[in-house]
Structure 1
Amino acid sequence: MSSDHPVSGVAGRYATALFELADEQSALDAVAADLASINAMLNESEDLKRLVRSPVFSAAEQGRALTAVLDKAGVSALVKNFCGLVIRNRRLFVLPEMISAYTSILAAKRGEITADVTSAHPLGDQQVESLKAALKSATGRDVMINTKVDAGLLGGLVVKVGSRMIDSSLRTKLNSLKIAMKEAS
């Protein structure tokens, strides 16, 4: 395992192996796209999440079900074989972490950093591009953005880049105001 990869544990070992295979086949971006597609499906389907996480399903059941999903999604043979290996080794429950680790390894190779952005409403393409530009100017590096929606924020953003977090959400501002008002009374 390469020492310059910023991941560890089971997910890191599997992701590193997949990364090295993808690199050998000049398929880093194709694999990243397939993994992003799988991750999106996992986020959208409670049934698929249950299939991946539940130890109740046998490896054969998980294999049949996931193969059908991956075939329908048009995922590459490399990623299908990788998922098959993960299933045979009874590590499918770690797949979301493997996907995240692969993304981290690829970003590190490209000199990118990842920002996790949570907003109260879905961000438009223009907003994402503006945010990327602002973060690039602040960090001096290309930034890949993972977006998430949390209606509980009411408004504003929570941006996490590495260990730094910028919380400009309306919820946090209201909570701060509430605390200040309690102290004043």
Structure 2
Amino acid sequence: MTSHKAIVSGISGRYAVALFDLAIEEKALDAVESDLSKLKAMMEDSADLRDLVSSPLFSREQQSKGIIGVAQAAKLNAMTEKFLGVLAANRRLGALGATISSFEKLLAHHRGEVRAEVVSARKLTKKQLGDLEKKLKLAVGHDVAIDASVDETLLGGLTVQVGSRMVDDSLKTKLDNLAIAMKGVQ
């Protein structure tokens, strides 16, 4: 297997590798993946959770109690709960979002998938995501796992990044390019 260092780096990468290796060893990869996906969604939806994770105003103990409470309320796997406790004890909860992203990269590599970051002006439907996934699989030649996000400033269209390749088909970019072209006409 390729070294994990080639896929992820930094503090978040080290924590993700530790969790990933432990999840494989304990045969809990699917459970941890589900937990981290749940946590990621919870962080996107809750400003209070984002504050708990990132604010230096909370003490180590407050962060530990808070994140363990969240884990228990969400009925997360015991391994994930302990992992969150370790992050809190080491004052690394601020790296949770990046650690989840690093874990997703490791998981995609483990499964032979390529990750694609898709940013659209509006939330894509399941059918749209499925169609996009099929088209990207044909273009890339591998299974593709999509990380979808929304950026309303795009106005319309979307941007897709797979590895170092990026396709920007957003209305905002088209309008910006038109504005640049129009300046040359004056």
Task: Kindly report which structure 2 residues correspond to 1:22-41, keeping only aligned pairs within 5 A, or say none.
Answer: 22-41=23-42
Q: Show CA shifts across 1:137-158 (max 9, x none).
A: 0100110001111111111011
Could you tell me whether the CA contact under 8 Å between 2:4 and 2:17 is conserved in 1?
no
Structure 2 Cα separation of the partners of residues 84 and 66 of structure 1:
7
Structure 2 Cα separation of the partners of residues 4 and 19 of structure 1:
10
Structure 2 Cα separation of the partners of residues 125 and 9 of structure 1:
33
Secondary structure at 1:121 match in 2: coil
TM-score of the superposed pair, with normalisation by structure 2: 0.95
Amino acid at match of 1:58: S
Task: Kindly report which structure 2 residues correspond to 1:72-87, keeping only aligned pairs within 5 A, or say none.
Answer: 72-87=73-88
- Cα deviation for residue 4 of structure 1 reads 4.1
Match of 1:57? Answer: 58
Q: For this pair of structures, how many residues does the alignment match?
A: 184
Structure 1 Cα separation of the partners of residues 30 and 111 of structure 2:
11
Task: Kindly report which structure 2 residues correspond to 1:94-109, keeping only aligned pairs within 5 A, or say none.
Answer: 94-109=95-110
Structure 2 Cα separation of the partners of residues 102 and 152 of structure 1:
29
The two structures, once aligned, show a CA RMSD in angstroms of 1.1
Secondary structure at 1:145 match in 2: strand
**Structure 1 stretch displaced more, 50-59 or 124-133:** 50-59
Q: Show CA shifts across 1:6-40 (max 9, x none).
A: 11121111111111110011111110110011111
Amino acid at match of 1:177: L
- Cα deviation for residue 45 of structure 1 reads 1.2
Secondary structure at 1:109 match in 2: helix
- Mark the runs of 5 or more structure 1 residues left unpaired by the alignment: none
Structure 1 Cα separation of the partners of residues 13 and 175 of structure 2:
39
- Cα deviation for residue 62 of structure 1 reads 0.6
